[in-house]
Amino acid sequence: MKTPGGALIRPLHLLLVAGSLALVPARALAQTDEQRAAARALATDGATAFNEGRFKDAVDLFNRAEALVHATPHLLYLARSYDKLGRLVRAREAYLKIVKEPLAPNAPQVFQDTKNSAEQELRAIEPRLATLAIKVEGAEQAKDVAVLVDGAPIPAVLIGVSRPIDPGEHKIEAGATGFRAEPQTLKLAEGEKKSITLALIADPNAKALVPGAEPAAAAEPAPEAGAPQSSPVVDQGPSQPPSDNSGLRIASYVAFGVGVVGLGAGTFFTLQSSSKRRDADAKFEECGGASGCTNNNPLSAEVAQLDDDARSALTLGIVGFAVGGVGLAAGTALFIMSSAGDSKESASITPFVGLGSAGVRGSF
């Protein structure tokens, strides 16, 4: 089967392997082997839906896979599915994400192939995008002008300027409190550029087209300069002599240092785990994949070792993030306590570390 750009689609099993790679470090703490396996299964079903022409199902399945594990092949199939559905703007954005994402020097060949395909297909889709400028006459008389395209509001900054839009038929509406405009429908061909103008006319019964665009309630007027200003009375309690909080302040700095070191270690081991996992997936492909990488294959032991190394590094990364989180939380609490001399004696703090969580409990 050929892609929209004409290039042959690579075998499906390459995409399934790729679906478990390119981990985003920020997601590493929440990611599990079960999630990786689920992402592979979703990618398999998504590729099957695409090849069977069920492009809406493919979009849903690959969006779910991408939510579990980030992998550029997921985005490539999403872009192709959006293209087939005529949603060229979303297709282009998915292609751009692939093209702009840097590749690691040791990234498997499937990722380089994905990027090459995205660059080629992006060049093919760019000239097919339609362009539309929506202008509103009389907008300066209204305070909450809104424009809808196919029922969805567009940002106010896009009113009056050209913007990419999917080819096809679109319904354009404009309105504001006390003003309305006759809706217009137009059809755009691929690559066509058009401009449309909607004129607002006064209508005392017209309400805001978008409820959220209605003017906010007027704020209370500020007191005149020189006028006395009232402020709430706070019972400060009996005055206390100032106390020396330098010890707490030093302890907070130490805790912050521990937190930074912990987060640094967590990031290092998480990246190392991701690298080992990529090496394991690449070695698994070299070993022959699911059909050839059996216990009789000498490369299977290397795959198992790399998987073990990845799990060990991920465990160390989780510990590092937990220690870092406790350090930063404790540092913040100690800093607040050192700055609040009046309430220092009643403040308390208790660090805690649990499964997938860390922090402090206390009262200030």
The interaxial angle of helices 88-100 and 72-84, nearest 10 deg, is 160
CA angle 266, 31, 317 (to 5 degrees): 15
Cα–Cα dist 284/44, whole Å: 18
Instruction: State yes or no: pLDDT of 310 exceeds 90.
Output: no
pLDDT digits (tens, 9 = 90+) for 332-346: 776 777 666 544 444
Instruction: State yes or no: pLDDT of 232 exceeds 50.
Output: no
In percent, the amount of the chain with pLDDT more than 90 equals 41
φ, ψ of residue 60 in degrees (nearest 5) = -65, -45
- Helix-then-strand count for the chain, H and E: 9, 11
Best CA proximity match to 91, nearest among 121, 68, 114, 52: 121
Instruction: State yes or no: pLDDT of 305 exceeds 90.
Output: no
Please give the structure tokens belonging to residue 33.
């082997």
pLDDT digits (tens, 9 = 90+) for 242-269: 445 666 668 767 767 777 887 888 788 8
When computed from its CA atoms, the radius of gyration of the chain, rounded to whole angstroms, is 29
Cβ(14)–Cβ(110) under 8 Å?
yes
Residue 295: count other Cβ atoms within 10 Å of its Cβ: 8
Q: How confident is the model at residue 1 (pLDDT cuts 50, 70, 90)?
A: very low
What pLDDT sits at residue 325?
A: 81
Cα–Cα dist 64/76, whole Å: 14
Please give the structure tokens belonging to residue 356.
């997938």
What pLDDT sits at residue 295?
A: 64
Best CA proximity match to 88, nearest among 130, 50, 53: 130
Q: Where are the domains of the chain?
A: 12-126, 130-213, 246-363
Please give the structure tokens belonging to residue 235.
């019972």
What pLDDT sits at residue 190?
A: 96
pLDDT digits (tens, 9 = 90+) for 264-286: 887 888 888 888 788 878 767 76
pLDDT digits (tens, 9 = 90+) for 38-52: 999 999 999 999 999
User: What mean pLDDT do residues 216-235 have?
Assistant: 35
What pLDDT sits at residue 20?
A: 37
| Second-level CATH architecture of 12-126 | Alpha Horseshoe (1.25)
What pLDDT sits at residue 293?
A: 63
Instruction: State yes or no: pLDDT of 110 exceeds 80.
Output: yes
Give the Å distances, CA to CA, from 177 to 41, 140, 154, 207, 277: 50, 13, 17, 4, 57
Please give the structure tokens belonging to residue 121.
């297909």
Cα–Cα dist 16/37, whole Å: 10
Which residues, including other chains, have CB under 8 Å from residue 195's CB and lie 6 or more apart?
A: 132, 133, 134, 135, 162
User: What mean pLDDT do residues 209-224 have?
Assistant: 46
**What does the mean pLDDT of the chain come to?**
76
What pLDDT sits at residue 242?
A: 41
Higher pLDDT, 205 or 16: 205
Q: How confident is the model at residue 143 (pLDDT cuts 50, 70, 90)?
A: confident
pLDDT digits (tens, 9 = 90+) for 341-361: 544 444 455 555 454 445 545
Cα–Cα dist 49/63, whole Å: 13
What pLDDT sits at residue 166?
A: 97
| Second-level CATH architecture of 130-213 | Sandwich (2.60)
Q: How confident is the model at residue 233 (pLDDT cuts 50, 70, 90)?
A: very low
pLDDT digits (tens, 9 = 90+) for 119-132: 999 999 999 999 99
Instruction: State yes or no: pLDDT of 88 exceeds 80.
Output: yes
Q: Is the dihedral of CA 347, 351, 354, 359 positive or negative?
A: positive
What pLDDT sits at residue 96?
A: 97
What pLDDT sits at residue 14?
A: 40
Cα–Cα dist 118/95, whole Å: 5
pLDDT digits (tens, 9 = 90+) for 311-332: 887 888 798 788 778 867 776 7
